[in-house]
A and B are shown apart, each in its own frame.
Chain A
């Protein structure tokens, strides 16, 4: 509780810089970048997470626990670490280009770690595990007779997915979207490591703070980021459970 008071004191000391934030192109770009990337990453990670979450919740197979542990492992990783891992795979001398080089003779994706795609991949890396775990919990509560009832009424697998499973899981999916969105909006470590040729909000804040010693702008950016995050989060949360 006391750390909160400190935080409030810190960020509210710079209202005047707001105008600067809104008008200057660079700041707007960084905020928009963050927004777009985070939203896209949230949707994609939830979409990818659906199948594994369902499988974990309902099926038993030999490697299940192992796979589950593997999938949830990235939850413990700090942002910097994820950034590093992306470089490991997609940097100039990353594993993927090297592998591609061996197979096709051309080093595909070399250096892609430092593009928007790279940051996006990093977001996915720590969001998918979270999405899978949350959705799995929701799917586990899915009453099995519901699926059986749908089948008895003539619904094929696609129809069941669309009309029974997804609507049932919709609240959980929206809250997962909210969580993953918030996580990537505020993720600093990843941005620091990977965002070289473009900028996202957390990075801008950092630069303002340390390079330009522009506390006011940094503070304003923080507030703007917080408001954006909170706003979109509420948007998702309204449809959540």
Chain B
């Protein structure tokens, strides 16, 4: 009873086919969007504002002109959140993992909670708690709530993978605690730190809940601006805006993958 092809090979081929099909399904909308941004509006039966010729970058220039304010705000926000998250999160992770103190467990759990709460609830809380005014530091706080846990988790994982004996041997060789941290621990943590920086960037850049609730018609972050584009502008413009939004994220994402971004699992909320 011999078969021409073993059932295992069949199963394998089917499995791979399914997987590739899934990948294609997930990528398809992006492809269509990209097409929409570069192809002449007439194909969609709509007039598109601000384009001169077919398939040029005119759309992008238009989008950038329209939403430059939002872009700037997003960049400022990310620029503030990133260093803060790292400066608070990394030492915190170090403290929790290497020098736990009474109550550190509780603190750590507390810090991780924002991930467990529905995103909208967090946003509402911030809005109400801040007295319904739009303030930059409220935005930062909101973003920090999402990004700090990420940094904590990533750096903690990196720390755990490190052999504490390395640090102990440094100490036995005469290096004080600060020196050890600087010369032994930190260099080995660099990939973990870079990874968490990328994650913070990706999350902060795309954060919508808090940003949208705290936005006004004049002042908003780019994701919030995206929403407005979707509801008011034509498809090609929306598509172009989407691509502008995605532009920084894609390289960041690839870098995260390269650095082993399994930390993603709980990371990103919508």
On whether the two chains bind one another, the answer is yes
> Are A229 and B118 in touch, CB under 8 angstroms?
yes
> Are B15 and A54 in touch, CB under 8 angstroms?
yes
Say whether B266 faces chain A, with CB atoms less than 8 Å apart.
yes
**Dominant secondary structure at the A interface:** helix
Interface residues on B, range: 35 or more
Say whether A177 faces chain B, with CB atoms less than 8 Å apart.
no
Q: Which of B28-36, B64-72, B169-177, B179-187 contacts A (4 or more CB under 8 A)?
A: B28-36
| Given A52-B19, A54-B15, A209-B127; A81-B121 close (CB under 8 Å) | no
| Given A88-B33, A134-B265, A188-B212; A76-B124 close (CB under 8 Å) | no
Near A by CB (< 8 A), chain B positions 119-161 give 119-130, 141-142, 144-145
Chain A residues with CB under 8 Å of B27's CB are 70, 73
> Are B144 and A3 in touch, CB under 8 angstroms?
yes
Say whether A212 faces chain B, with CB atoms less than 8 Å apart.
no
Say whether A82 faces chain B, with CB atoms less than 8 Å apart.
yes
> Are A71 and B23 in touch, CB under 8 angstroms?
yes
Q: How far is the CA of A209 from the CA of B7 in the complex (A)?
A: 58
Q: How far is the CA of A78 from the CA of B209 in the complex (A)?
A: 9
| Given A67-B19, A71-B23, A188-B212; A6-B130 close (CB under 8 Å) | yes
> Are A226 and B145 in touch, CB under 8 angstroms?
no
Q: How far is the CA of A133 from the CA of B26 in the complex (A)?
A: 14
> Are B270 and A126 in touch, CB under 8 angstroms?
yes
Q: How far is the CA of A76 from the CA of B23 in the complex (A)?
A: 15
> Are A7 and B122 in touch, CB under 8 angstroms?
yes
Say whether B1 faces chain A, with CB atoms less than 8 Å apart.
no
Say whether B242 faces chain A, with CB atoms less than 8 Å apart.
yes
Say whether B18 faces chain A, with CB atoms less than 8 Å apart.
yes
Q: Which of A16-24, A56-64, A100-108, A163-171 contacts B (4 or more CB under 8 A)?
A: A56-64
Checking B250, B265, B270 against A79 with a beta-carbon cut-off of 8 angstroms, the contacting residue is B270
> Are A86 and B226 in touch, CB under 8 angstroms?
no
Say whether A15 faces chain B, with CB atoms less than 8 Å apart.
no
Say whether B200 faces chain A, with CB atoms less than 8 Å apart.
no
> Are A76 and B202 in touch, CB under 8 angstroms?
yes
Q: How far is the CA of A152 from the CA of B26 in the complex (A)?
A: 38
Residue of B18, B111, B118, B267 most packed against chain A (CB within 10 A): B118
Q: How far is the CA of A76 from the CA of B16 in the complex (A)?
A: 24
**Dominant secondary structure at the B interface:** helix
> Are A233 and B226 in touch, CB under 8 angstroms?
no
Q: How far is the CB of B213 from chain A (nearest CB, A)?
A: 7
Chain A residues with CB under 8 Å of B230's CB are 80, 83-84, 87, 193
> Are B213 and A209 in touch, CB under 8 angstroms?
yes
Interface residues on A, range: 35 or more
Q: How far is the CB of B131 from chain A (nearest CB, A)?
A: 10
Q: How far is the CA of A76 from the CA of B269 in the complex (A)?
A: 9
Query: Chain A: which residue is nearest B14 at the CB level?
Result: A51
Near A by CB (< 8 A), chain B positions 229-270 give 230-231, 235, 238-239, 242, 245-246, 249-250, 252-254, 257, 261-262, 264-270
Residue of A54, A71, A79, A229 most packed against chain B (CB within 10 A): A79
Residue of B15, B26, B111 most packed against chain A (CB within 10 A): B26
> Are B127 and A3 in touch, CB under 8 angstroms?
no
Say whether B116 faces chain A, with CB atoms less than 8 Å apart.
yes
Chain A residues with CB under 8 Å of B242's CB are 81, 84
> Are A55 and B128 in touch, CB under 8 angstroms?
no
> Are B26 and A125 in touch, CB under 8 angstroms?
yes
Residue of B23, B111, B250 most packed against chain A (CB within 10 A): B23
The interface bits of chain B over 43-73 (1 if a CB of A lies within 8 angstroms of the residue's CB, else 0) are: 0110000000000000000000000000000
Near B by CB (< 8 A), chain A positions 42-100 give 48, 51-52, 54-56, 59, 61, 63, 66-89, 93, 95
Chain A residues with CB under 8 Å of B145's CB are 3-4, 7
Q: How far is the CA of A1 from the CA of B249 in the complex (A)?
A: 27
Q: How far is the CA of A190 from the CA of B235 in the complex (A)?
A: 17
Checking A74, A128, A189, A222 against B208 with a beta-carbon cut-off of 8 angstroms, the contacting residue is A189
Beyond A186-B118, A219-B124, 6 additional pairs, beta carbon < 8 A: A1-B110, A10-B126, A68-B257, A70-B23, A205-B121, A222-B118
30 contacts between A and B (CB under 8 A): A1-B110, A4-B114, A4-B145, A7-B117, A7-B121, A10-B128, A13-B128, A52-B18, A59-B15, A66-B23, A67-B19, A68-B23, A72-B253, A72-B257, A73-B30, A75-B264, A79-B209, A80-B227, A83-B230, A84-B230, A88-B36, A95-B28, A132-B22, A157-B11, A188-B209, A192-B212, A206-B120, A218-B124, A219-B128, A229-B118
Closest 6 interchain pairs by CB?
A: A186-B118, A79-B270, A10-B129, A7-B125, A10-B125, A85-B29
